Structure 1
Amino acid sequence: MTYSNEVMDHFMNPRNVGEIEDASGVGTVGNAKCGDIMKVYLKIEDGVVKDAKFKTFGCGAAIATSSMATELVKEKTIQDALSITNKTVMEALHGLPAVKVHCSCLAEEALHAALWDYAQKNDIVIEGLNPPKEDVHDDDHDLYESHVK
């Protein structure tokens, strides 16, 4: 299994590790199959993500995708933050091995879960935002959709 230089850099030198005490939104997601757990903290002011931090228990790819996702979301509007997908994270990292794609899905879902928490705390609706998943897999989108309906 080969990792890009970007993945290795974000694993060896992760950005934004930690927590935000007065976070506007906090999202925690996990993957029962691999045991990875991601927690993302967002500080949102005037509709813009001013800060993002994470705590991840997982493999190197999980740490790298958490690091990259928090970098990508900073200074984005809520709607732009919502548009950050697992594909966005993987492209920014110059790819992931197929068996590690679920890590980028976790990063996307953790960001979205933190946005969901923010929306709930502020009694607002963020257009296009779905409730967070309890367990994230890269191959269960159809199962998830049928469960939510």
Structure 2
Amino acid sequence: MKVYSYSFKEGDLIPTQYTCDGLDISPHISWSKVENAKSYAIIMDDPDAPIGTFTHWIVYDIPSNVLELKENFPKKSVVGNIMQGQNDFGKIGYGGPCPPRGKPHRYFFKVFALDVESLGLPAGLSREEVERFINKHTISSGFTYGLYKR
């Protein structure tokens, strides 16, 4: 599965508007269609965080005919039929890169193709709660990543 963004090139710096230093809006994210996928899920995280992997965004129950989320995806628990979880900032929806000053951090946008139309979960759950179900239903996955440094 190919994952990409029109907002930044893989491995390049993520523009400030998508971070806590800017507008803190989500970037565009897109993926290639996976045969037999019934839905998709996204987890964005920072494995370089000093406290361990930090989760910035959890999206699930994305219908199989949706192959992108446009820039500035609403920070609501439910958008149409799409659910969002609680990030490690304790908020629903996207929370942009906000690393401590120093070395650049990597931000991974992981997309999972799932064999179910819905995980059957309510919105607002933690990564651990959602990931438990994603892991049982993943048929393919891919990622892209960007960097950010303060």
Q: Do they superpose with TM above 0.5?
A: no
Higher helix share: 1
Higher strand share: 2
- TM-score, normalised by the number of residues in structure 1: 0.31
